[in-house]
Each structure stands twice: as C-alpha cells, then as structure tokens.
Amino acid sequence: MVVVSQPVDENFAHIRTCKPTSNIFTEIPVVDLLDPDAKTIIVEACKEFGFFKVINHGVPLEFIARLEDEAIKFFNSPQPEKEKSGPPNPFGYGDKKIGPNGDVGWVEYLLFSTNSRKLILPGVSESFWSFVNEYVSAMRNLACEVLEKTAEELQIGPRDILSKLLRDEKSDSYFRINHYPPCPELQAWSGFGDHTDPQIISIVRSNNTSGLQISLKDGTWVSVPPDHSSFFINVGDSLQVLTNGRFRSVRHRVLAGSLNSRISMIFFGGPPLTEKITPLSSIMEQGEESLYNEFTWYDYKKSAYKTRLSDNRLGLFEKSFTHN
Ligand SMILES: C=C1C[C@]23C[C@@]1(O)CC[C@H]2[C@@]12CC[C@H](O)[C@@](C)(C(=O)O1)[C@H]2[C@@H]3C(=O)O
Ligand SMILES: O=C(O)CCC(=O)C(=O)O
Ligand SMILES: [Fe+2]
C-alpha cells in the first residue's frame, strides 16, 4: 500500500526534533476482550502505562480496510483538491500545522467532529463519509465496552458510569485520520510531537508501519510495535482526573519514518461540554481529596486550545499548581 508523498513547499526548519530511539517495547499489555480476566488487565494497564493493546475486538479487518483505502485515495489526490477540505478550523484537512499555536509535524490529516453528523466537508466523497460514520460508531462501542469493563473492575457503581459520557448524544468526541508520508530527512522531523490526549479515552489503529512511541512512568520513550489488526487504547487527561490520578494519561508521540507511509485513525472519546470533570465520588476513599480543581470539559478544552502540543495541560488544574 503506497501513499504518494507530497513535496515540502514551506520552510518548516524550526520543526521540533525528536531524540532518535528504537527501543522496541514488547511488554505492552494485551487485552483479549474474550478473556474473562480482561477487565483486570485493563485496569492494571491503565494504572501502569495508560496504554494497552486490544485483540479479539470483533471489528472485522475488511471493515477497517475499506475506510483506510478511502483515506489513502483522499491523501493521494492532488494538494489543491485536499486543500478544499481545509483548513482544520476546527474540522477538516490539515497539512503539517497541528492545532492553533504553532505546532508542526510531518503529517497531513483529516479531523472530524463526531457529534455534528451533518457536517459536510467539501472534497470528501459520500462513500468516504459513510465509512467514517460507521467506523466511528464501531469505535464508540468499543470504547464503551472498555469503559464498562473498567467500571466493573473498579466497582465504581453502574457499569455505564463512564461509558454514558460517550453515549450521550452531546458527547464531544473527535475522529482523526493521520497520514505520515515517508520523511526524506530521517529523524530531522517529528511526525506528531509528544502530548497527552485531553479526552477520556482514545482508540488508535494504524497500518503496519511503526512510529508510535509512548513514555513510560520513568520518562523513557519506547516504540510500540505496529499491529494493523489490533487497536491501541490511550488513557486521556479526563480519565486521569475522573479516577483521581489512579489512571495515567499516557504521553505519546509519532516519529516520522524514511521508507513507509503511516496511516492512523484515532477516535477520541470525550464527554459533553457541560460535563464536570471531577473524580468520581464512588472511587474516592474515605478522606481522600481531589487532586484537581473542578472544571467542565468546556473549561478544559478552552484552556487546552491555548496550549502547545507538549505542554502539561492538566498541570494548570492541579490543586498544587500556583499561578505566578
Ligand atoms: C496543539 C494542539 C493540537 C490539539 C489542540 C492543541 O492546542 C492541544 C491538544 C491537541 C490535541 C491532541 C489530541 C488530538 O489529536 C486533538 C484533536 C485534541 O483533541 O487535542 C489535538 C488538537 C488538534 O490537533 O487540534
Ligand atoms: O497517529 C498516531 O498514531 C497517533 C496520533 C495522535 O496521537 C493524535 O492524533 O493525537
Ligand atoms: Fe494523541
């Protein structure tokens, strides 16, 4: 599967560079959704890494492949055609520029909102659009299944205490398709700089091209071996808060490769804008205090969009944080 790379037409010499590392990590927890112990492994993985891989998820490979094929067709189309679907303010096609505050990466992408189903993106075909919607529904279901298993294991009340935030019709969830063309100046460019995802949970699926790295508790960066038939789950900042820091919002990044294109599709499960993001009362032990000041998802997003990709966004809401 080849995606044609586009020439670099702007000077992005100031792009963030990543310290090269090829520390392939073989200890990523694997959650088999058919295993009765899945929920225990999920909770352990969320505490230790904020990251795990899901197998036996029930999403057929052909279902994933048909969306990937449409995405490849889109990214292979001429640049002026793709630009018709941009800029990503807030949704649409973006090239190298990530977010509103000067971050750049060796990546082009499509960013979709998943609650405004009527949103029309010029340049995106009907079939592409319908595959996106079906794929997003499947990802929402998968995210909810994982969150329900989490709630069961933590014994924090009704099974849907977390998943209902994503099932809510006002859930503020996003979907993103990233294309990382082969990078001619290997290691000179970062594909997608290091960051944590602000939402509750993210589901990453990529082709068989490496590049994704996660940061371990001690700050070591390790490479995630790609697996096109599995999904990778990230704990986001909001889930860290909802669990009062028991779960870890995983810092991650993507390094650009020199030979192969990486295509990734990520579902970001977020709550409704008005939802208070505060530790679940049912998780708190007697006398335990919240580590965070109270905020809504709207407050958090507003603040997050003023930050750079690598900033510690959650830090601003920690009780120990002091303003200068
Ligand atoms: C630099 C930025 C891009 C981002 C918005 C932000 O200001 C900080 C968070 C970034 C992030 C990371 C996860 C997702 O890819 C994303 C869509 C999100 O919700 O938060 C991106 C934002 C973006 O690309 O617009
Ligand atoms: O492309 C990837 O594999 C991950 C990208 C990512 O972390 C993001 O879009 O937030
Ligand atoms: Fe991310």
Report how far ligand 3's centroid is from the alpha carbon of 254 (Å). Answer: 9
Residue 58 scores a pLDDT above 50: yes
- How far CA 125 is from CA of 3, 71, 73, 275, in Å, comes to 18, 10, 10, 34
User: Which numbered atom of ligand 2 lies nearest the CA of 178?
Assistant: 1
For ligand 1, atom 15, which residue shows the shortest CA distance?
A: 197
How confident is the prediction for the chain on average, in pLDDT?
91
pLDDT at 321: 65
The closest residue, in CA terms, to atom 1 on ligand 2 is 264
Provide the CB-side half-sphere exposure for 146 (13 A, CA): 36
Asked if 105 contacts 190 with a C-beta cutoff of 8 angstroms, the reply is: yes
Q: Which of 179, 302, 305, 307 to mutate to test the pocket of ligand 1 (most atoms within 8 A of CB)?
A: 305
User: What separation in Å is there between the alpha carbon of 195 and the centre of ligand 2?
Assistant: 9
Kindly give the number of the ligand 2 atom that is closest to the alpha carbon of 266: 9
CA distance 121 to 129: 9
Rounded Cα–Cα distance for residues 142 and 33 (Å):
10
**Burial of residue 298, with CB atoms counted within 10 A of its CB: 0-12 exposed, 13-18 middle, 19 or more buried:** middle
Query: Out of 3-7, 46-50, 103-107, 256-260, which region has the weakest mean confidence (pLDDT)?
Result: 3-7
- Ligand 2: centre distance to CA 181 (Å): 14
Q: Taking residues 90-112, report their average pLDDT.
A: 95
Answer yes or no: are the C-beta atoms of 180 and 256 closer than 8 Å: yes
* 280 neighbors 81 (Cβ within 8 angstroms): no
Q: What is the pLDDT of residues 10-42, one digit of tens each?
A: 444 444 444 455 689 889 999 999 999 999 999
Q: How confident is the model at residue 174 (pLDDT cuts 50, 70, 90)?
A: very high
- CA 267/CA 180 separation, integer angstroms: 17
Ligand 3 centre to CA of 195 (Å) is 6
Q: What is the pTM of this model?
A: 0.93
* Ligand 3 ion: nearby residues, β-carbon < 5 Å: 197
With 0-12 / 13-18 / 19 or more C-beta atoms within 10 angstroms meaning exposed / middle / buried, residue 217 is exposed
Are 105 and 181 spatial neighbours (Cβ–Cβ below 8 Å)?
Answer: no
Atom of ligand 1 nearest to the CA of 174: 17
In the predicted structure, residue 275 carries a pLDDT above the cut 80: yes
Q: Which residues are catalytic?
A: 262
- Least-confidence region, from 11-20, 101-110, 146-155, 223-232: 11-20
- Asked if residue 190 lies in contact with residue 308, where contact means CB atoms within 8 angstroms, the answer is no
For residue 7, the model assigns a pLDDT of: 37
The pLDDT of residue 307 is 97
Closest CA to 265 of 309, 182, 203: 203
The helix/strand/coil state of 277 is strand
Asked whether 234 lines ligand 2 (CB < 6 A), one says no
Contact by Cβ (8 Å): 285, 211: no
Q: For 66-91, write each residue's pLDDT tens digit.
A: 999 999 999 999 999 999 999 998 88
- For residues 208-227, average pLDDT: 96
Residue 100, strand partner residues: none
Which ligand 2 atom sits nearest the alpha carbon of residue 192?
A: 5
